Structures are given as structure tokens and as C-alpha cells.
């Protein structure tokens, strides 16, 4: 049965209430609170029962046919929500807004929050990563992008010029899982994000009109960014439906502030996860993360993905890393304190939003308790930022919240004795009455002579006296027992005295729970006043935690402080790949990477498996680490500040878009060539191998010449086209280097050492032999190779022309009519017969010309 097919006039009042709420939240799965369960109905029930493997049942709703239904216990709903949200669904939580005991007729219900991928604020999200919700606002001539982590309160905004692909680059580079777009955006962008990158995309046209959150954007002058932020804030506030004043004033990002690279570089260099398993282990983040707080780990990850370009700030971080390594005793004390600091940023989010529990306040108390020690250590280190210590808040939490308080707030046992006189009196009455019950059981046994008599309690009947069937004959009328319940093996009774005590006990317990909840909320309101100050302290602790992590890894792995130079000189001596060095069993062979003012391109040749790709990756990783403010895996390092990094390493078809390896190679090469400046770093690994040999070699040479003449960026270009090594004669800023290997008795040994000059042998058959291909196959390959070598076929390497020195006005390409005809057709729209006829016409036209 579908919801759209139902005659609503026949529905029960409760189901009509459900339908009205569902109409407002068509794109959400509704978790509808009924008593102790969340229920789902109609299509939601069918979908959810399949995904969560729940039993699909039915509910009588006033119709002849039962409507589909499934349900989950309300106290265990979060794990079910996690699974649905991870699969890209939105879940709307509908709660009872009134107490059923105090309401006549239908209990009022409504959505209290919508849970989506990017707006989660609970404690189940990954503590070491930000969880961003982003939006794209299409202004026709440019795009506004803003994003926020609702759990921590951080808000950012930036403008992106150019085509839609630039926006997609920005979304994928940042790893946004949920994106909001305005209703005028190009639908191709929406489809690419949904289909190719599995991003949850919501189209929304409304913007925030409530001035209550204007502090987030009041200092921003660009009206486009303000409009973008209002668009995002409307969605967040409509989704969360709670107090979100922990959201911080927006930070406007400019591309010049950070070292830029796209998602391909992020993947190829395995910065935050590995290519093979997409796991954190064995990534650069895994190696560098010795942080003691979740906040520090998040800042580290963000810094890896956004290295700095400010020399002053980079040098400042170097100074502190160096000082922490020198003052290692203070560093150890700092680490000891940081281990006791919880996630202040996300605790603040829950305090403001209101979904906190007593454990959250205990974690806040523990964190605040360490601040005086941390402050003293930072003062001793002459750290340039200072923190508040919040003694008054710590004192309040210390004398109020019980250390063993439960997770829920409606069970009592939250507040310590001595804080509130009325509460202490109620607890005294309750505990005294309970002692009375125990005493009463003892007295009743003696008075009646019934040895197995028990005084018990349940929520339905309250307190009762239980007597087994065999002992019921001993009950006399003068005992004053009144039968309350008959069970298979016993009878239950009450007495006027027991009923009186029950009223006192239950009345006191209800008052205790109600009063403790009120006191807890009052404490929360006091703590809320310090939210902004907590966030400032959290930022400082995040940074010092990241810097102590840099210090620890620098000492452990023998990293060295880089020297930043204003000259276009890159000189990394005895450079290593920091991750490979730690995971490989054999001794790592370090190499020099030198590109002085007269060298912009290193053309790298050498056999497969010799380490060309690793050599290139370690250069980029060293640059990234240096601009993060971390020491680097070199004996010594002198390097400039780069603005962008571009990589093309590895080969993979894009099955989703149907693009081949070669097409992807060319697109990525084009992206690098069009975006790079002379202050960029380009890494091209065997570019051109995805097509025929002559095509690939020609393209590789043309790209090298273009980079050499036009861009002048520092470039590492590995190749198997040994003919390209002759370019060293024509391109003055290109130098040949090779990864050496030794061949002896038909066996090859890779030395993993990079040396000047070129090689003219690839050792491909030797690598195949190492891969244990059949011996007969290897022998046959050698025979064929000998035939080719005897033919002495040499590929001509074309020397550089002055093409790139011409201005566009000086060079007017001739129009080829046949090419123009081909450009006009769409092969995908042609029938086979159309294609044959078109080919025949072209052939006839070419023959006419001949």
C-alpha cells in the first residue's frame, strides 16, 4: 500500500497526524515516536525494513487494509540512524511534545531534528575528522562555497571563479559528503556530484532571514559570500531545529593562504588514506598523528590538506617544534595533561544544542581541571598564545555532577549531595522509606510466621507483599492483607501502611527526578555562557597538541628543520619518503633532490620497481610537511614556498564516466598546465604511456617543452621514453637523472639510488622474471627483444621548435575542411549506416584532393 493511494478521510487521528508531518518532509525517513518505539509507515517502513533487516508488519489505521509498519526501540535508535545516514538517507525524528499523562486526546508530535550526513552533532561521528555540510551558490559568473562543521561550530566561505569543474574539484578535495545547492545551479554539477562522487545533494532556494545569527557574517563585506552563508544557515537551522549559537563567525578563505592541490594529488600522495585500502593506516596522517586530543588530530588532518603559504606562520611553527624538542621534560608534562583533555569543541556543540548528558559535563570538568597545568607549561615555553582556566566553572561542576551519573537525564542520580537543600531532603525521605520497606519485610515475617514472605515492587502495581501458594493458608484476616494480584505460584497483597509508604517513596522519587533534571538544565545554562571562551581555548590546545606531535615524530624519525628561501631553489639532501621508510623491512636508501635556479625540470629514467615514483612522491610530501610547519625527512632541506602541487601518478580508468586511462591522463595534464605558475610543483609519472608509443612520446616531449618555456614550474617527469633524454641538449633548464640498477649474470639488482644522467635500458623483462612469470615465457621475450635490437630501430626525437615563443596573433592556424566536418558530427547519435556513409564521403573528398 502506497501513501499516495490512501483515502485520508478514513485514517485514524494518529495516522492523519503522521501524514501531515510526512507531507512536510517528503525526502526524509520519518521516525515516528509511539510510546517506547519509533515507528515507520508506508514506503518508509518497506524501505527501512529492507535496509535494516527489520520485520515488516502492519498497523490498523482506520482502513480496511493494514498499513505497512516496522519499528525500533527508542533507546537504541541511534545505531539504526547511523546505518541509514551512511547510506545517504535523511532521517526526521518525530517526538511527543506533550506528556501523555497530562494531555486529553491526541498527543502533539512534531519533527525535533533531521539527521543527515553533514549535520550530525552526536558523539557517534568520527572524532578525528571534521564532518562538514557545504553549499554551492551559483551566481552565473562565479560560485560561492561555504561550509560548516555543526558539531564544532567552525564556519568557512570562499569564492570560486571559472567553470563548474572547479567547484567539483573544491568539493572532492575537501571530502564534503553532503552539499546544498541553490535552485538555479547547472544540473550537470548536481548529477556529477551524485553519480560520480556519491555526494548527498539537496536543492534549496530559501535563505536565512533571522538576524539572530547575523554575527556569523556581519564582518564580511562581499555580499556574495553573505548570500552564500545565509543559504547554508537556513538549511542547517531548518534541519537541526535547536540552539546553534556555538556556530562561530565565518572565516573567509583565499586560495593564496594555502598550498593548493586537488583530490588526485591527495590520493596519489596518500596523505590521509591509502590508495589500495582507503584506510588511515600507512598514510602520512597515520605517521604524523601523535596527537593526544581529538581536536589536535582534526587540526592535523586539516593542516595536511591545507598547508600554509605564510612564511612568518611556518617559521613560527618551526620555532615551537624546535623548542618542544629541546624542552622535552616540559613536553612530557604537556602530553600527560593533554591525555586528560576531552573534545572541547564537540562538547561545546552539545552543550549549546542541548543534546548533552551528565557524562559530557564530567568530561568538560576533567578537561577544565587540566587547564591550569597546561597554562603554566605554555607560559614556561613562552608560547605566544594564552588560555583561560575557568576555575569557577570547574568548581561548579565539581560540586554538582555525580561521577557515576547515568547517560540519560530522566532517571535521577545526577546531582551530588550538599548542593541543593530540598533535593537532599527528598533523597533522605526516599532512602529512609526504602529502609522502612526492608524493615517491614522483616517485621511481617515475624508477625505472620510466613518465612518466604517478600516485599517487592514493579511499575504496574507499585509495592506489594508476595506470599507463595503453599503459604497463603497462613494469612489471617487480622493481618489486614488486601489481595492485589494472583500469579501461578504466588499471591500478592497490599496493606494500608504499605500503600502510605509507597505514596511517600514514589512521590519523593518523582520529585527527585524532576528536580535533578531542572538543576542539571540550570547548570547547563551557566556553562553555556562560556561557550565562546571554551572555543578559543580549544583552538589553542588543538594547535599545541599538533605541534607537540610534530616534535615527537621529528625526534623519533630524525626529521630536520627546513630552511625557507626566497630564491627558486629546491635542495633536499638525503631525502626519504617518511612512510615508506617506516614500513619497509630493508634499509631505506635516501636520495638528493636538487633543482637550483638554473634547473626547473628533472627528467627521471630508470627501470620499473627501481623507485622513480617513490622519489617523486617523497619530494611532494617533503614540500607539504615543510609548509605545514613540520620538520622534514632530510639531512638538510632548502626550499621555496610553493603555491600549488599537481600530480599525475598511477593509471586508472574512470568507469563511472566511461573515460579511459589516457583521457584521464590528458585531462589531468591539461589541468596542471592551465593552472600551474612558476611557483608550482608538478609531478608527472610516465605521462603518455596510455597511447601508442610515438603518440605518447610526442605528447610527452611537447608537454616538457611547454612547461620549460611557458610555465617554468619546478617539475619532476619520469618516463620510459629514453629518446626524451636528448632534450637535455635543447632545454637548458632540464636535467637528466636516473635510478640506477646493476645487471649481473642476467640478474638485475635495483640500487634505488638516483644519479645524474640518463639510462637507455628499462629492464622490463628482468622485472617480469622477478614477478615469477614462466621461464619459457621469459626466454621467448628475450628472443623477441634480440630481434628488435638487431633491427636497430631508433625512434627520432624531434628537437624543440620556437612554436611556444610565438604570440597568438603571429600564428594563425589553417582551417582544415575535413577536420571541421568531423567536429560537426556526434558519433553517439549516428547509426552504423550513417557512420559508413560519412566515412565514404570523407574518403572520396580526400581522394579528390590527392
Q: What is the SS3 assignment for 620-682?
A: HHHHHHHHHCCCECCCEEEECCCCEEEEECCCCCECCCCECHHHHHHHHHHHHHHHCCCCCEE
- Looking at per-residue pLDDT, the higher value among 721 and 201 belongs to 201
SS3 of 459-489: CCCEEEEEEEHHHHHHCCHHHCCEEEEECCC
- Pick from 622, 718, 589: which is nearest to 271 by CA? 622
pLDDT classification of 657: cutoffs 50, 70, 90: low
What pLDDT, in 10s, does the model give residues 750-771?
668 999 998 756 666 666 666 7
Cα(347)–Cα(829) distance, integer angstroms: 58
d(CA 154, CA 529): 18
Helix orientation angle between 832-849 and 817-824, rounded to the nearest 10 degrees: 170
CA–CA gap between residue 512 and residue 381 (Å, rounded): 49
Cα–Cα distance measured from residue 390 to residue 397, given in angstroms and rounded to the nearest whole number: 11
* pLDDT, tens digit (0-9, with 9 covering 90-100), for 536-589: 999 999 999 999 999 999 999 999 999 999 999 999 999 999 999 999 888 889
Query: 3-state secondary structure string, 663-729?
Result: HHHHHHHHHHHHHCCCCCEEEEECCCCCCCHHHHHHHHHHHHHHHHHHHCCEEEEECCCHHHHHHHH
How many alpha carbons lie under 13 Å from residue 543 in its C-beta half-sphere?
Answer: 19
Sequence-separated contacts (24+) of 105-109 with Cβ below 8 Å: 105/13, 106/13, 106/14, 106/17, 109/17, 109/21, 109/32, 109/33
- Angle of helix 612-628 relative to helix 311-326, nearest 10 degrees? 90
Q: What is the pLDDT of residues 276-295, one digit of tens each?
A: 888 999 999 999 999 999 99
Mean pLDDT of 400-427: 91
Distance in Å from the first CA to the final CA of the chain = 72
Distances (CA, A) of 689 to 602, 662, 695, 721, 794: 18, 8, 9, 9, 18
Beta strands in 731-778 (DSSP E): 734-744, 747-756
Cα 321 to Cα 338: distance, rounded to the nearest angstrom: 16
Please work out, in degrees rounded to the nearest 5, the angle formed at the alpha carbon of residue 566 by the alpha carbons of 624 and 581. 30
DSSP string, 297-337: HHHHHHHHHS-B--HHHHHHHHHHHHHHHHSHHHHHHHHHH
Cα within 13 Å of Cα(444), Cβ side? 27
Radius of gyration of the chain (CA): 36
Rounded to the nearest angstrom, the gap between the alpha carbon of residue 81 and the centroid of all alpha carbons in its chain is 18
Q: How far is CA 750 from CA 457, 609, 743, 782, in A?
A: 79, 8, 9, 20
Q: Which of the two residues, 218 and 772, has the higher pLDDT score?
A: 218
Give the confidence band of 735 by pLDDT, cuts at 50, 70, 90: very high
For position 466, what pLDDT does the model report? 93
User: Residue 21 and residue 95: Cα distance in Å, rounded?
Assistant: 11
Measured distance CA(650)–CA(627) in Å, rounded? 25
Phi-psi region for residue 105, left (φ > 0), alpha (ψ -120 to 50) or beta? left
**Could you tell me which of 732, 796, 719 has the C-alpha nearest to residue 762?**
719
CA 733 to chain centre: 41
- Dihedral of the alpha carbons of 258, 263, 266, 267, in degrees to the nearest 10: 180
Give the range among 170-179, 190-199, 840-849 with minimum mean pLDDT.
840-849
- Taking only the tens place, the pLDDT of each residue in 4-50 is 788 888 889 999 999 999 999 999 999 999 988 999 999 999 999 99
The CA distance from 22 to 109, in Å, is: 12
Q: CB of 387 within 8 A of CB of 371?
A: yes
Lowest-pLDDT range, 135-139, 402-406, 608-612?
608-612
Query: What percentage of the chain reaches a pLDDT higher than 90?
Result: 63
Confidence class for position 616, pLDDT limits 50, 70, 90: very high
pLDDT at 694: 74
- In the predicted structure, residue 808 carries a pLDDT above the cut 60: no
CA distance 334 to 92: 43
- d(Cα 390, Cα 114) in Å, to the nearest integer? 34
Question: Does residue 199 surpass a pLDDT of 60?
Answer: yes
Report d(CA 120, CA 122) in Å as an integer. 6
Q: Give the helix ranges, DSSP H, for 708-831.
A: 764-770, 775-791, 817-824
Contact present, 484 and 464 (Cβ < 8 Å): yes
Q: Can you tell me the distance from the alpha carbon of 559 to that of 813, in angstroms, rounded to the nearest whole number?
A: 53
DSSP 757: S
pTM: 0.84
Contact of 519 with 400, CB cutoff 8 Å:
yes
- What is the dihedral angle through the alpha carbons of 636, 641, 646, 649, rounded to the nearest 10 degrees? 10
- Alpha carbon distance 325, 361 (integer Å): 34
pLDDT tops 50 at residue 802: no
pLDDT, tens only, 227-251: 999 999 999 999 999 999 999 999 9
- CA torsion 385-390-391-396 (nearest 10°) is -170
Chain centroid to Cα 242, Å, comes to: 23
**Which tens digits make up the pLDDT trace of 510-551?**
899 999 999 999 999 999 999 999 999 999 999 999 999 999
Which of 743, 564, 731 minimizes the C-alpha distance to 642? 564
- Between CA 31 and CA 446 the distance in angstroms is 54
For 111, 118, 557, the CA distances from 84, given in Å and listed in that order, are: 17, 13, 42
| Beta-carbon count within 10 A of 684 CB | 26
The model's pLDDT over 148-162, given as tens digits with 9 standing for 90+, comes to: 999 999 999 999 998
pLDDT band of residue 720 (cuts 50, 70, 90) is: confident
| CB proximity list for 140: less than 8 A, separation 6 or greater | 184
Is residue 653 over pLDDT 50? no
Q: Please report the pLDDT score of residue 801 as a whole number.
A: 46
Q: Highest-confidence range of 504-508, 642-646, 781-785, by mean pLDDT? A: 642-646
Residue closest to 559 by CA, chosen among 638, 642, 633, 504: 633
Say what the pLDDT of residue 809 is: 45
Amino acid at each position: 500500500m502506497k501513501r499516495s493511494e490512501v483515502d485520508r478521510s478514513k485514517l485514524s487521528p494518529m495516522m492523519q497526524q503522521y501524514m501531515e508531518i510526512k507531507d512536510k518532509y517528503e525526502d526524509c525517513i520519518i521516525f515516528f515516536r509511539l510510546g517506547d518505539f519509533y515507528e515507520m509507515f508506508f514506503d518508509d517502513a518497506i524501505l527501512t525494513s529492507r535496509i535494516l533487516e527489520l520485520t515488516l508488519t502492519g498497523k490498523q489505521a482506520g482502513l480496511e487494509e493494514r498499513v505497512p509498519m516496522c519499528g525500533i526501540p527508542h533507546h537504541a535508535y541511534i545505531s539504526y540512524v547511523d546505518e541509514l545516514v551512511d547510506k545517504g538517507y535523511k532521517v526526521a525524528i518525530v517526538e511527543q511534545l506533550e506528556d501523555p499523562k497530562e494531555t486529553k486526546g491526541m498527543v502533539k508530535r512534531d519533527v525535533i531534528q533531521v539527521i543527515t550526513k553533514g549535520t550530525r552533532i552526536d558523539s557517534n561521528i568520527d572524532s578525528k575528522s571534521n564532518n562538514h555540510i557545504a553549499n554551492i551558490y551559483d551566481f552565473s559568473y562565479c560560485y560561492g562555497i561555504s561550509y560548516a562543521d555543526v558539531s564544532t561550530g567552525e564556519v568557512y566561505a570562499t569564492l570560486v571563479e571559472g567553470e563548474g569543474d572547479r567547484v567539483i574539484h573544491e568539493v572532492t578535495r575537501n571530502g564534503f559528503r553532503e552539499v546544498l545547492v541553490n535552485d538555479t545551479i547547472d544540473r550537470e554539477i548536481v548529477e556529477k556530484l551524485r553519480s560520480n562522487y556519491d555526494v548527498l545533494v539537496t536543492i534549496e532556494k530559501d535563505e536565512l532571514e533571522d538576524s539572530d545569527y547575523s554575527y556569523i557574517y556581519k564582518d564580511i563585506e562581499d555580499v556574495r559570500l553573505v548570500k552564500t552563508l545565509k543559504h547554508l544557515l537556513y538549511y542547517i537551522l531548518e534541519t537541526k531545529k535547536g540552539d546553534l549559537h556555538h556556530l562561530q563567525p565565518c572565516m573567509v578563505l583565499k586560495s593564496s593562504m594555502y598550498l593548493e592541490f586537488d583530490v588526485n594529488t591527495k590520493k596519489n600522495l596518500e596523505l590521509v588514506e591509502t590508495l589500495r585500502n582507503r584506510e588511515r593506516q600507512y598514510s602520512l596522517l597515520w605517521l604524523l598523528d601523535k596527537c593526544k586530543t581529538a581536536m589536535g588530530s582534526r587540526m592535523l588532518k586539516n593542516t595536511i590538506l591545507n598547508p600554509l603559504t605564510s612564511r612568518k606562520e611556518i617559521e613560527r611553527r618551526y620555532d615551537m617544534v624546535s623548542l618542544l624538542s629541546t624542552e622535552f621534560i616540559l613536553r612530557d608534562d604537556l602530553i600527560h595533561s593533554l591525555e586528560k583533555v576531552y573534545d572541547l569543541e564537540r562538547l561545546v556543540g552539545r552543550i549549546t544544542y542541548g543534546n548533552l548528558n551528565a557524562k559530557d559535563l564530567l568530561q568538560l570538568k576533567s578537561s577544565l581541571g587540566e587547564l591550569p597545568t597546561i597554562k603554566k607549561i605554555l607560559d614556561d615555553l613562552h608560547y605566544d598564545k594564552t588560555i583561560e582556566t575557568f576555575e569557577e566553572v570547574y568548581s561548579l561542576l565539581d560540586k554538582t555532577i555525580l561521577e557515576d551519573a547515568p547517560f540519560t537525564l530522566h532517571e535521577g542520580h545526577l546531582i551530588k549531595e550538599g548542593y541543593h537543600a530540598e533535593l537532599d531532603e527528598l533523597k533522605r525521605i526516599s532512602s529512609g522509606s526504602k529502609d522502612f520497606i526492608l524493615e517491614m519485610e522483616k517485621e511481617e515475617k515475624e508477625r505472620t510466621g510466613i518465612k518466604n514472605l517478600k516485599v517487592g515492587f514493579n511499575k504496574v502495581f507499585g509495592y506489594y507483599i508476595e506470599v507463595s501458594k503453599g503459604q497463603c493458608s497462613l494469612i489471617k484476616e487480622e493481618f489486614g492483607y488486601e489481595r492485589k494480584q494472583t500469579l501461578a505460584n504466588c499471591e500478592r497483597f497490599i496493606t494500608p501502611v504499605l500503600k502510605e509508604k509507597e505514596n511517600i517513596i514514589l512521590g519523593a522519587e518523582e520529585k527527585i527526578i524532576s528536580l535533578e533534571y531542572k538543576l542539571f538544565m540550570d547548570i547547563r545554562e551557566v556553562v553555556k555562557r562560556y561557550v565562546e571562551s571554551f572555543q578559543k581555548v580549544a583552538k589553542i590546545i588543538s594547535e599545541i597538541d599538533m605541534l607537540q606531535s610534530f616534535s615527537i615524530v621529528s625526534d623519533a624519525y630524525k626529521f630536520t628543520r627546513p630552511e625557507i628561501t626566497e630564491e627558486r631553489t629546491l635542495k633536499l639532501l638525503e631525502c626519504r619518503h617518511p612512510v615508506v621508510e617506516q614500513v619497509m623491512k630493508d634499509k631505506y636508501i635516501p636520495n638528493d633532490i636538487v633543482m637550483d635556479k638554473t634547473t626547473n625540470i628533472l627528467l627521471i629514467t630508470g627501470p620499473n620497481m627501481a623507485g622513480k615514483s617513490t622519489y617523486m612522491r617523497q619530494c611532494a610530501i617533503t614540500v607539504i610537511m615543510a609548509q605545514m610547519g613540520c620538520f622534514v625527512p632530510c639531512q638538510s632541506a632548502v626550499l621555496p614556498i610553493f603555491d600549488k602541487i599537481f600530480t599525475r601518478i598511477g593509471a586508472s580508468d574512470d568507469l563511472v564516466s566511461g573515460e579511459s586511462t589516457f583521457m584521464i591522463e590528458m585531462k589531468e595534464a591539461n589541468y596542471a598546465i592551465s593552472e600551474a605558475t612558476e611557483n608550482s610543483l608538478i609531478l608527472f609519472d610516465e605521462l603518455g604511456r596510455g597511447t601508442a608509443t610515438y603518440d605518447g612520446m610526442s605528447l610527452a616531449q611537447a608537454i616538457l617543452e611547454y612547461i620549460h618555456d611557458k610555465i617554468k614550474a619546478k617539475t619532476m617527469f619520469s618516463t620510459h621514453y629514453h629518446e626524451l633524454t636528448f632534450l637535455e641538449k635543447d632545454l637548458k633548464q632540464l636535467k637528466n637523472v636516473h635510478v640506477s640498477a646493476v645487471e649481473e649474470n642476467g640478474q638485475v639488482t635495483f640500487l634505488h639510488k638516483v644519479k645524474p644522467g640518463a639510462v637507455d635500458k628499462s629492464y622490463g623483462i628482468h622485472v617480469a622474471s622477478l614477478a615469477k612469470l614462466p621461464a619459457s615465457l621469459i626466454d621467448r621475450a628475450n628472443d623477441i627483444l634480440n630481434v628488435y635490437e638487431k633491427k636497430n630501430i631508433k625512434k627520432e626525437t624531434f628537437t624543440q621548435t620556437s612554436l611556444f615563443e610565438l604570440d597568438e596573433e603571429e600564428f594563425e592556424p589553417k582551417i582544415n575542411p575535413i577536420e571541421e566536418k568531423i567536429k560537426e558530427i556526434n558519433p553517439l547519435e549516428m547509426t552504423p549506416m550513417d557512420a559508413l556513409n560519412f566515412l565514404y564521403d570523407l574518403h572520396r573528398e580526400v581522394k579528390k584532393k590527392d
